[in-house]
Structure 1
Amino acid sequence: MSSSDPAVPDALTSLTPEARAWLDTALAGIATDPTTIRTLFPAVRRRCGRAPLPDGRTVDEAARILLLTALPLRDQALVDEVGALHRYGDPAEQRAVLRALPQVDRAGTGRFLDLVRQTLRCNDSALIEAALGPYAAAHLPSDEYRQAVLKCVFHGIPLDRVAGLDDRADAELARMLSDFARERAAAGRPVPEDIAPLVRPFTTTHGAV
């Protein structure tokens, strides 16, 4: 790897020599010709494996994020390339794209927000969870963020996996969650326990859950 290539993180140092060599070559190839990522991205799982990592990711996801950060593109060219990888990728590839967005959009422009929005229209819980990481927390407008949190509750996604809730929870979100909880209780269905901590700070206005 040259000094301009992204450093392989500690999480990937457990790669076999063959997988590490493949990844090094892939990173160098992307730096020279960004279009090579289109064939390299789907091949990651086969070449690097999918062993779990201590941070909850898998080896293939971490390697794919590294490939994305190696792209020497800017502005709309970068948006188009990353968007195509998401559009044509399988769920594992899409999760990697979504989780890489903070690193890909280092300037914090929010220009990749459409990928988050597209994902939030699906019903795949793992993809929804991946979409609601730090990038969504930083850039998703308040009304869309609230609706996304409510969708997580509907899908049974634990709210501690949604980035930014400590900062972005507000009275309107508390009202929406309270309404949901009352409807569930009236129907004799269990109310997720992780709703209460978000509603409690606003109970003087909206009542307890």
Structure 2
Amino acid sequence: MVVTTGSPTAPPDHPRPALTDVLDPTARTWLDDSAARVAAEPGAVRRLFPAARRRCGHGRLTAYWTVDEAARAVLLTALPLRGQALADEVTRLHRHGDPAEQRAVLRTLPLLDLGDLALPLVRETLRGNDTTLIEAALGPYAAAHLPDAEYRQAVLKCVFCEIPLDRVSGVGARADRELARMLADFAQERIVAGRDVPEDILPVVRAFPDVIGAELDQALKEEG
């Protein structure tokens, strides 16, 4: 059953065209030269990747990208590596990066030909408590590759961490009865504790009416 909530599962557009429109000539030249350098010498990305924020800026570019994330995505997609070699380089950049660099890696995963090889990065992020990183990890890559049980747990963690589900890719497409049951149990606990139920879980719960208990059913009716 498809539920109308969550963000799309399709990979984001490559950010290069959008960057071209906003970067000044100096920044644009730096990015073009840096991408060419990475394509010719993959190890150069370790020096250039951290510099992207300083050289290109960090404002909002699109709903998905900030300028620095987009510039770093250009560098990552310029890497001439494939398979495990690409996964190893991306993992190294993530492990040694600051949170902004880690977000850039996570947001770029859907644009890289990695198969399941980047799932350890997603899992590592989901074990943490930085909500900006968790949100970045639960983009189109995670929606496409996380196993069902792990995806459900990730959605539940977002609810606990108060990350809006419309920022989590794939909820609408991947919602199933088990996820609805988990969210209904969470909602029931909130009702018993006299706390509000997050509205963004309700489309998932309502799509599977058989998981709704009596108290939750009454609360939903009162909300209309």
Give the alignment's TM-score, normalised by structure 1.
0.92
SS in 2 for 1:9: helix
63, 66, 69: which one pairs with 1:58? 66
Higher relative CO (CA 8 A, sep ≥ 6), structure 1 or 2? 2
Residue of structure 2 in register with 1:104 after alignment: 112
Closer, same or farther in 2 for the Cα pair 1:149/1:161, shift >3 Å?
A: same
Letter in 1 for 2:187: A
Letter in 2 for 1:128: I
Q: How does 1:142-181 map to 2 (within 5 A)?
A: 142-181=148-187
Distance 2:16 2:176 in 1: 39
Q: Which runs of 5+ in 1 are unaligned?
A: 1-5
SS in 2 for 1:13: helix
1:185 equivalenced with 2:191 (yes/no): yes
Distance 1:8 1:148 in 2: 30
- Alignment: residue pair count: 202
- CA RMSD in angstroms comes to 1.5
Stretch deviating more after TM superposition (85-94 or 50-59):
50-59
CA offset at residue 154 of structure 1? Answer: 0.4
- Contact (CA 8 Å) 1:79, 1:112: kept in 2 or not? yes
Stretch deviating more after TM superposition (188-197 or 140-149):
188-197
Letter in 2 for 1:58: T
Residue of structure 1 in register with 2:51 after alignment: 43
Letter in 2 for 1:74: R
Distance 1:166 1:190 in 2: 22
CA offset at residue 51 of structure 1? Answer: 1.7
- Contact (CA 8 Å) 1:12, 1:63: kept in 2 or not? no
The Cα offsets for residues 174-204 of structure 1, whole Å up to 9 and x where unpaired, read as: 1110111111111112111111111001113
Q: How does 1:5-24 map to 2 (within 5 A)?
A: 8-24=16-32
SS in 1 for 2:116: coil
Residue of structure 2 in register with 1:27 after alignment: 35
CA offset at residue 52 of structure 1? Answer: 1.2
Of all paired residues, the percent bearing the same amino acid is: 64
1:75 equivalenced with 2:83 (yes/no): yes
Closer, same or farther in 2 for the Cα pair 1:102/1:7, shift >3 Å?
A: closer
107, 125, 136: which one pairs with 1:130? 136
Distance 2:211 2:85 in 1: 48
Give the alignment's TM-score, normalised by structure 2.
0.86
Distance 1:80 1:126 in 2: 23
CA offset at residue 8 of structure 1? Answer: 3.0
